[in-house]
Structure 1
């Protein structure tokens, strides 16, 4: 419910702060006093787009702030979805800056207008003769029927099943598309995979093959160089080892004289050991080296295969080729296994489809059962509102499609006159009739679900005093379970309120301002007397006002 409203620098309002309570709240005032300004400010809180022309003083910020007690509204899931902090006392603030930029906040968290509208429509319902489009909307009509049918729990189950059903169908389509694409590519992938498998690639072998190729391809030159190297080291006359051995022998005798000679001797001895090792390695290389034209051909062929594959797959290493091989293998295996996955997904979809059908049937059964009761209640209320011949013909027809709220199509037909043809509401009811129908529907709904605060904006226009009294009684009954506001010009309705506010204009420092004042009991008598007889209040008008209030 709306508990507090603050408006600053909006239209003709300089600054306004008012608190509201439960029950039926009446708002009255002369035409042009500013009731529409109040509604305009509330509409901004609900997410309506801002207009700088509504700002009273363009040099200052315009602020509209509303506090709602939402403890009974079960809105925690909405706050979670919108990523907002839940507070049982929720404050919505709208600001229009001098620059024309608009900002919105929910519990001091900045939000966009979409989030504001999502929450706003669950907190406040502003209804006038010109705002009955909701009444002709299928979703709203289903909401009415399902509220009476107590379908809330099963609709939640159905909704969850439908969400999973759509998700599985999406996954199935993805698999089927994947299969179609994979089938087209399977032959090519298989060919590439076979080519890589036949190459028998080993990570790191490219470098060893290149070394082996260079060796085999230059075997004669290598032999020659190794032979010369062997002679340089081992020749009796000029060999390096021979001379170094002789040098070692000389320093062997000197090493005993002092440390410097011994140090040189140890270095010569160390070099000789290293040269002996090198000499042995050269001999090993000579023994291992031999010309092998066949092996050279094999190595060359393997290198050509590897280089062709590297070029073909635009990579630079065998490691990358092996990765491609694994990926191709996975694709081939995946393609071969897609049928099993598709079959598994189809089974799950069929199982869930059967569950959805059962749930939808249960929803339909509850709807069909409750329709006669809804028609009777609405027709009874409308009869008291001056529409004694109003009749409803509500039809539920099954459909094969899974809709968001079941598998039904709805025809909400209406006839206002005896013997008249049934037709869609928007084609068979006038604006005034639609307003009374909406009042009747909201009245019925208030008995079955927690409705948001509702504000009726002069929906009593054009009705008689007797009917307006019935309308007021209905609003009064509704206000026992919800907060109801009504803006009215009729004293019969104004007298039924638990609280009464008057909108009026006054001149402050030669500037016209709109004010909102809560009336005390004596003020109410005068206000209702003026509504009965004009500004010149007579004693009979006062008496009549007291009678209405009592």
Structure 2
């Protein structure tokens, strides 16, 4: 629960440092004194959007810091999951906003993103402002109330997982159908293209071989002449290099007996002779192999033209790309051929996912129906003492036309304040005061199901007065007695008198401007404040006596 709140340079607040007590507390003050400013500062701690305009004029930044006692609320998991320090007892939340528009958040002095602050804030404080009464006509709010009281969090999470799985299966089925339909319109085109590529009988590496062969056939006569001339230079009978080497070898060999180095030179020369003799023979063989073949050249050129044409048609540069495209067309045709089987398998998966989702939705509906009966009974029990003796309240559950992530149930709170009145949606028939009482009753039930440390009611008593206000205060007292903190911002003396702790917000004018302050009232201060709430600016003996009587009654109770 909220132990203390520190605010500096925020709106009309210079410095505010106040401690809060457990149980039921009240905050009073004239309209415009700064109660909404304090709520705004708390909102920043809960992760609401920061605005540099909220910084007090002339200041460079504002700071809002709160200390919470969490020893009784089992929040260790949040801090461990987010790698935040936590001693198991206190948590310090701070928000800083600079005039340049920058915002920083800290949890136990560790920088934290605003999303993390918001997640923690939802576990720390529930601020019920007047505009929240408008939520009563929102289906999602009504459904959320039933889910909280049904305690179906795990079942709902399981349903959401199954719902997501169903939607994914449904999407996959739809995509497969669209793809199959699109493919069927292209089937003739794909078949034609594949047949053309298959008829070409392309082979890996074929293009390079054909291009080289075309070059050779095109220059066959030129090549043959060059080879013939090379062979003749090497091995003609008169002055061919081979014969000259042979004679040179003999000369060196003959002087080997009288000149020992001649043997070595002769050996080396003989090696050259053997190598060139062999080379001349190989050139002669190549000369015989090379011949001009117009028919073969025509075939090679036609084959290359086929390959080049396909490359140009499919806008690729290599034969390997054509082979890849051919395989892709083959796979597409295969997919078209087996698309019905694929769609049938996906349809089966989708049907199974839908059936699992429906079964889980049925479990949710059952839990919600049980919770709805409890809500109907408890709402009557709470609203009758609050001045609606003939109240009728019904939670209507009807199937949704299309399931969504919350389930298949549509929730509608039906209400009538009259004994024989026709039940209608609560937002259409309930007055402002009746809606306030309904919301307080719902919050009281929710607070019993959720371990929320602090609940702040901002003028929940709008539209009520007298004994009804007193009874609403008693409900808030009971909520505050269940190991939680309830703070009510009120203008009604009947509610103010029942708070175990009383705070007053007031404005003060000075040379530099106007400042808002909050103080905890002592016994005398409470009497005077409640007397002012009864009689206005001028204190009368009657108002003071009435204030004392209200306080004495609250103490006796």
Superimposed CA distance per residue, residues 86-120 of structure 1 (whole angstroms, 9 cap, x where no aligned partner)? 66666554433223x142525344535x7765654
Q: Which residue of 2 aligns with 1:477?
A: 478
Specify whether residues 495 and 268 from structure 1 end up closer, same or farther in structure 2 by C-alpha distance, changes over 3 A only. farther
Q: Which residue of 1 aligns with 2:491?
A: 489
Tell me the CA shift for residue 136 of structure 1: 1.3
Superimposed CA distance per residue, residues 342-394 of structure 1 (whole angstroms, 9 cap, x where no aligned partner)? 21111111112222222223333333344343222112211211222222233
Superimposed CA distance per residue, residues 402-431 of structure 1 (whole angstroms, 9 cap, x where no aligned partner)? 122222223322112343333222221122
Q: Which residue of 2 aligns with 1:199?
A: 200
Q: Is the 8 A contact 1:78 1:119 kept in 2?
A: no
The secondary structure found in structure 2 opposite 1:384 is: coil
Specify whether residues 6 and 217 from structure 1 end up closer, same or farther in structure 2 by C-alpha distance, changes over 3 A only. same
Q: Which residue of 2 aligns with 1:549?
A: 555
Matches within 5 A, 1:20-99: 20-68=20-68, 72=73, 85=83, 92-99=93-100
Is 1:353 aligned to 2:354, yes or no? yes
Q: Which residue of 1 aligns with 2:506?
A: 504
Is 1:10 aligned to 2:10, yes or no? yes
Tell me the CA shift for residue 50 of structure 1: 3.9
Tell me the CA shift for residue 341 of structure 1: 2.2
Aligned equivalents of 1:382, 1:229: Cα separation in 2? 118
Q: Which residue of 1 aligns with 2:441?
A: 440
Aligned equivalents of 2:126, 2:24: Cα separation in 1? 14
For structure 2, the 5+ residue unaligned runs are none
Specify whether residues 146 and 276 from structure 1 end up closer, same or farther in structure 2 by C-alpha distance, changes over 3 A only. same
Q: Which residue of 2 aligns with 1:335?
A: 336
Q: Is the 8 A contact 1:103 1:110 kept in 2?
A: no
Q: Which residue of 2 aligns with 1:245?
A: 246
Tell me the CA shift for residue 262 of structure 1: 8.1
Aligned equivalents of 1:456, 1:63: Cα separation in 2? 24
Q: Which residue of 2 aligns with 1:324?
A: 325
Matches within 5 A, 1:255-334: 268-334=269-335
Q: Which moved more, 1:468-477 or 1:514-523?
A: 514-523
Q: Tell me how large the CA RMSD over aligned residues is.
A: 3.4
Q: Is the 8 A contact 1:505 1:513 kept in 2?
A: yes
Q: Which residue of 1 aligns with 2:221?
A: 220
Matches within 5 A, 1:88-237: 92-99=93-100, 101-105=101-105, 107=107, 108-109=110-111, 111=113, 120-237=121-238
Specify whether residues 299 and 541 from structure 1 end up closer, same or farther in structure 2 by C-alpha distance, changes over 3 A only. same
The secondary structure found in structure 2 opposite 1:64 is: strand
Q: Is the 8 A contact 1:495 1:549 kept in 2?
A: no
The secondary structure found in structure 1 opposite 2:448 is: coil
Specify whether residues 173 and 52 from structure 1 end up closer, same or farther in structure 2 by C-alpha distance, changes over 3 A only. same
Aligned equivalents of 1:280, 1:68: Cα separation in 2? 102
Q: Is the 8 A contact 2:432 2:463 kept in 1?
A: no
Q: Which residue of 2 aligns with 1:390?
A: 391
Tell me the CA shift for residue 437 of structure 1: 0.8
Aligned equivalents of 2:80, 2:164: Cα separation in 1? 20
Tell me the CA shift for residue 329 of structure 1: 2.5
The secondary structure found in structure 2 opposite 1:225 is: helix
Aligned equivalents of 1:388, 1:157: Cα separation in 2? 41
Specify whether residues 265 and 532 from structure 1 end up closer, same or farther in structure 2 by C-alpha distance, changes over 3 A only. farther
Tell me the CA shift for residue 138 of structure 1: 0.6
Aligned equivalents of 1:218, 1:461: Cα separation in 2? 105
Superimposed CA distance per residue, residues 521-542 of structure 1 (whole angstroms, 9 cap, x where no aligned partner)? 6655665566556775857457
Q: How many residues align?
A: 545
Is 1:371 aligned to 2:372, yes or no? yes
TM-score computed with the length of structure 1 as normaliser: 0.87
Tell me the CA shift for residue 225 of structure 1: 2.8
Aligned equivalents of 1:109, 1:137: Cα separation in 2? 36
Tell me the CA shift for residue 164 of structure 1: 0.7
Q: Which residue of 1 aligns with 2:417?
A: 416
Aligned equivalents of 2:270, 2:531: Cα separation in 1? 131
Aligned equivalents of 1:332, 1:78: Cα separation in 2? 56
Q: Which moved more, 1:265-274 or 1:491-500?
A: 265-274
Q: Which moved more, 1:526-535 or 1:483-492?
A: 526-535
Aligned equivalents of 1:79, 1:388: Cα separation in 2? 49
Q: Which moved more, 1:370-379 or 1:254-263?
A: 254-263
Specify whether residues 351 and 462 from structure 1 end up closer, same or farther in structure 2 by C-alpha distance, changes over 3 A only. closer
The secondary structure found in structure 1 opposite 2:96 is: strand
Q: Is the 8 A contact 1:392 1:413 kept in 2?
A: yes
Q: Which moved more, 1:252-261 or 1:135-144?
A: 252-261
Aligned equivalents of 1:257, 1:196: Cα separation in 2? 76
Tell me the CA shift for residue 121 of structure 1: 4.6
Q: Is the 8 A contact 1:445 1:451 kept in 2?
A: no
Specify whether residues 60 and 136 from structure 1 end up closer, same or farther in structure 2 by C-alpha distance, changes over 3 A only. same
Aligned equivalents of 1:280, 1:359: Cα separation in 2? 89
Aligned equivalents of 1:364, 1:130: Cα separation in 2? 30
Specify whether residues 319 and 537 from structure 1 end up closer, same or farther in structure 2 by C-alpha distance, changes over 3 A only. same
Q: Is the 8 A contact 2:459 2:488 kept in 1?
A: yes
Tell me the CA shift for residue 224 of structure 1: 2.9
Q: Is the 8 A contact 2:531 2:539 kept in 1?
A: no
Q: Is the 8 A contact 1:129 1:432 kept in 2?
A: no
The secondary structure found in structure 1 opposite 2:384 is: helix
Q: Is the 8 A contact 1:92 1:106 kept in 2?
A: yes
Specify whether residues 510 and 150 from structure 1 end up closer, same or farther in structure 2 by C-alpha distance, changes over 3 A only. closer
